[in-house]
Structure 1
């Protein structure tokens, strides 16, 4: 006798598909039996971890039989030193994805609505639907957030608004004045989540800093991660900054020990490694220019990016191009799931990795 477990699941979960992450190198090695693979699929830092962070994580492993500090005292103290954030404003997460889910669990009931942009991060619709809420997707403008359309999409049942700045997977970004004007118009009882996973890569004078805006908007939550510019994607650590009232609610549903001790230690250490962050930004800037110029030479369009990746229009169905690149030992990310069937997202790598991608892409598109 069998059981229909799908019928037992909540309605929101029944309609979900698992999140599809970038293909790991080991998986491609198993599938095709090839080596010397370049992975440019998951927006990882190509420098490898900071030596300081690596040493701290290794030292923390000597206490691997002990649970980590569930409150993350030392990391919160390091965040206070680096950003000026008090501990009662901070919620630590197993990457920023973890805190995005916490926010949804705290504020969403079945039938509530969540506003976010077309082409926005795939986790937003996942956490929305898992809670039984309804996604209200505002049309994008030139692949980026159209804040006027998002404001118009807010209704009586809206509980959350997600904004990614810069946005993944398109790399588009909002200027400070537009973001402030939007926040000024959002009712106080609607929580706005500003996802700043890639903020360290942004350049220019009109760059918004969500952490500086927090004192002015009690309904604002800012999420950050150590996975990108800080180079700790494999250790999974991020945080949310918000008013004490919101932070208290998030910590009520946060799992105890949700960040491992090596991750806590590495995050503390890397915050002091300013040279590493500077090199990460410089390598990214140079690599972005390398890819842009290479794509221009091949006559390909791309979306100007403020992150550590670039989204390329290959002017044909991108899935076969992605598959052909895999056979050349180059892993990128197709964006059909984002309703961008002609686009590939390519992470910025080291110079030789970027060159490998450009050569492979030219060869594949010539076939």
Structure 2
């Protein structure tokens, strides 16, 4: 067990109680489909978080949040992740959590009033449009194909994006586009405007994100120059501001999901009997539970370490890459072992572990495939050694 201060223990207990009492009972609510929870369900959950003073707590107090540190988030987001609906309820889900962080750092006062404040209040959702079909940007953002061309007081944006989380139902989008000089910029736009087209929703393996994953088409989408997010040409720099903290919050939330699966597997191994003894007394099962405990500790330690690096004001890109790979692979092993222990019941949607298993597979791809992070880690290590 990691030693936590009294303040952090109290925060942990509060979020744990909120999730157990208010959110887990909604996990079988029919207002969910393969593209995530409906907006009506989202609003009901958000209202409960607001009553508990746990809505959008990572935002600054000026915007109505609590300005949580990264370590506070690590402790609380793990507890939120214990339910498949916890992050939605507390408005700390992707992509809004990362978008809120980015806009707090970069957005103008007018942009904050128009879009950020309603996002923090849970009134609207957002999406982050960067990933494109081949030959466009994926793991390599420099391959952007979507273009932004100056046209008087506006920019005209053309291109196609896909795998855009939360696109369906989002009120505002952050679009990454290539400029005429080859640099990249970010643009804010309402989604109910001419030229912003949701072509379709993709049938993804996961179903934990509000709005699912969509394909967007921009056809001469006109964006006023006042809606440029930050400065022209600094899109890649701003992406780094967003990615390290957002990548880490994925680790926090998924740790909670993995712990939920492990707890259920442990309970089953205690209660289920086979060949004259408890299921967990068989070494094949008991060893899997022991391995889960070790992976849980490893993921938690690395997550808390990276959170403290960010709290010291450091960029944390290297540390977040390490933590992302450790976490994505660690939680997958935990959940996979838990499915094996639970047996046939985990093959059906009557067990929440079935959903956790399907939702979790994408984590090794989201926020940079693990192979890309390994490549980045190796390069930085070699450059450092050479220096």
- Classify the TM-score, shorter chain: under 0.3
The two structures have a TM-score, normalised by structure 1, of 0.26
Higher normalized contact order (CA 8 Å, seq sep 6+, divided by chain length): 1
The two structures have a TM-score, normalised by structure 2, of 0.25
